Structure 1
Amino acid sequence: MDRFTPVFAIAAAAELAEMHPQTLRQYDRIGLVSPQRTRGNTRRYSLHDVARLREVARLSAEGLSLEGIRRVLDLEDQVRQLEGRVRDLERALTEERLQRPDRRVFAAGSAGGEVVTLRRGTRMRRNAEVVVWQP
């Protein structure tokens, strides 16, 4: 069982979030917190859903509208996804460095800004051509 496992009925989730069950139904209708459904179509909330309900209550107490709360939650979800993507890219970069310790990961090429790999200790040859511009 993890924090995304739907285990709480609406009454239990409402009690944990310190809200009325009708409020949870309204938030589900407008898409602020969308619990999973059983085969019998009853709502089942996870610990993640309860934490999100508490966040909605906190933002509402600070004076945000429901649309503002939805936007904040969407942006927070987007930030979490981007942070995960950055972690994945950092992990891939670290693996690349470990697999090829004698190489740089990248360098700017001389032709058109392409990315090239160089051996450690070597440098890109600079272009020394003179270009005359005539209008």
Structure 2
Amino acid sequence: MAFVFTAIRVLLGLFFSFAGAVKLTDLISDEVYQQMKTQFVQFADVFPLKSFGFKPEPMQYLEAVGWIELVAGLLLAFGPRLLQEISNFVLSIIMMGAIYTLLVLKEPVAMCAPATVCLGLLLLLNIHGRRKRKSKFE
């Protein structure tokens, strides 16, 4: 069973790394990169901290999310346990923000599916990690 969770962690980490890389460069897919640039203009308009007076510049927002996904994805896949747990937490926050943003923009529920599945897998890995740590101390 440990192999299954390791495979999920590595594949999910690689997925996030790829998703982050797509946000950072047009070399992977110019069409997707241009689409991301357009979407992040809308995402910046409904940024969760906007009510506190903080509205990010769309390109900086895109780059920040891209770098976070790239680095946290690599750490989730290949980092030491502590950094895996930290990256899991960070990526979970990113996915909650993505779901919030899509719901506020009244996007179809199907648009939330990828972020929801990723969040579910991150939470599953977190629960598995906690059980594993707890059983070591008992």
Q: Which one has a larger percent strand, Structure 1 or Structure 2?
A: 1
- TM-score using structure 2 length: 0.34
- The structure whose RCO (Cα within 8 Å, separation 6+) is larger is 2
